[in-house]
Amino acid sequence: MNDKFSAISLFSGAGGMDVGFEKSGFDVLFANDIDPVACKTYDLNHKISSCCGDLRDYFDELFRHKGVDLLFGGPPCQGFSVAGKMDPEDERSQLLWTYLDAVKLTKPSAFVCENVKALAVNSRWTGVREEFLRRAESYGYVTAMLVLNASHYGVPQARERMFIVGVKKQLTKLSSEQLEQVLKRELSSRECVPESVGDLIRRLGRAGSEGNSKVCSAIITYAKKPVLRKSAYAGMLFNGAGRPIDSNGLALTLPASMGGNKTPIVDEDEIFNGTASYVGAYHEHLVSGGAVKSGLAPSRLRRITVDEALAIQSFPSNYILTGSQSAMYRQIGNAVPCQLAAVLAEAVKSVLSDVSYLKVA
């Protein structure tokens, strides 16, 4: 089996997907993103520099890498996300087709396209899915569409994402259905249980300490009209979209909008002193008919730090972020969890390496 494969990274952002694919033996030769801050972060952490700007302006450079082993990347997802406007005419949604243009131009042995779960399962995007797969097939690829939960692969975050994997028909014996089965089998063999968010934070240290210094100052106030759900960690007990995280469990999807009151909340006393959850107690109080509280929440509740968000996304502990604090949170929230990318990369590498899957031994 080959140990090293060449790759192109598109819509690279801060480089989370690249970390995972590089860890699994892919040598990234070209990277691109339009965000100059994310490009600077990428440059500080990878052996090549990200070509910053509109991808379409770099097609001549891309063509020089024709025949690369793998092309991977995640076109902007805001146009498809249930958290956004779900507008198919959103200019960012059109970049999905720019991604396929790059596939057609470079003719990689395989490609991996990442996006939000909604693109794979929402009936609103049926036409988009079918068109993407039709075009990929016309370019000579068998394809498999997967929805993966990062928490199944050691990431302490219940983050679900769609991945479309394509492999050149002329290289593989597999049909699209068989490719999906092989990838699922490879992925299943790599499943593992992640640590809890509380364990992760204890490992980093208290907010403000040397290893966990980039704190978020956004205040936490009680919601005037709480939205109650069965779980204390759903609904809305505090103002803003940043919901509390169960320290004994997993984070929900970290959004790119973190940095203000959309930054998730943790209970410092529960994590470091072993006291009972304040969020759980307040939720029980409300469910039992207790009065709604007002003003500032107790200081034991705080927003997660940049360092914690970075770790929840499974970035290396020495990863360097650039830009303002809000830009750091945005880069983290936009990233594919590194560990999820690494596991998927291993599965794709198996398909490209194992002679039982290939037409030519």
Domains (ranges, CATH) in the chain? Answer: 5-193+337-353 (3.40.50.150), 197-330 (3.90.120)
Q: Give the single-character DSSP code of 359.
A: S
- The three-state secondary structure class of 110 is strand
pLDDT of residue 191: 97
User: Are the C-beta atoms of 223 and 235 separated by less than 8 Å?
Assistant: no
221 DSSP β-pair partners: 296
**Residue 15 is encoded by which pair of tokens?**
């480089």
Give the per-residue pLDDT at 267: 98
Catalytic residue positions?
77
Q: What is the pLDDT of residues 100-124, one digit of tens each?
A: 999 999 999 999 999 999 999 998 8
Residue 89: per-residue pLDDT = 59
pLDDT of residue 84: 52
The structure tokens listed for 7 are 């790759």
- State the pLDDT at residue 125: 86
Which residues of the chain, if any, have pLDDT below 70?
1-3, 77-93, 361
User: What pLDDT shows up at residue 263?
Assistant: 97
Burial class (CB within 10 angstroms; exposed 0-12, middle 13-18, buried 19+) of 306: buried
The contacts found for 329-332 with CB under 8 angstroms, 24 or more apart, are 329/216, 329/256, 329/257, 329/258, 329/259, 329/263, 330/256, 330/257, 330/258, 330/259, 331/13, 331/14, 331/35, 331/37, 331/38, 331/41, 332/14, 332/254, 332/256, 332/258, 332/306
Q: In this structure, what token pair is assigned to residue 63?
A: 């063509």
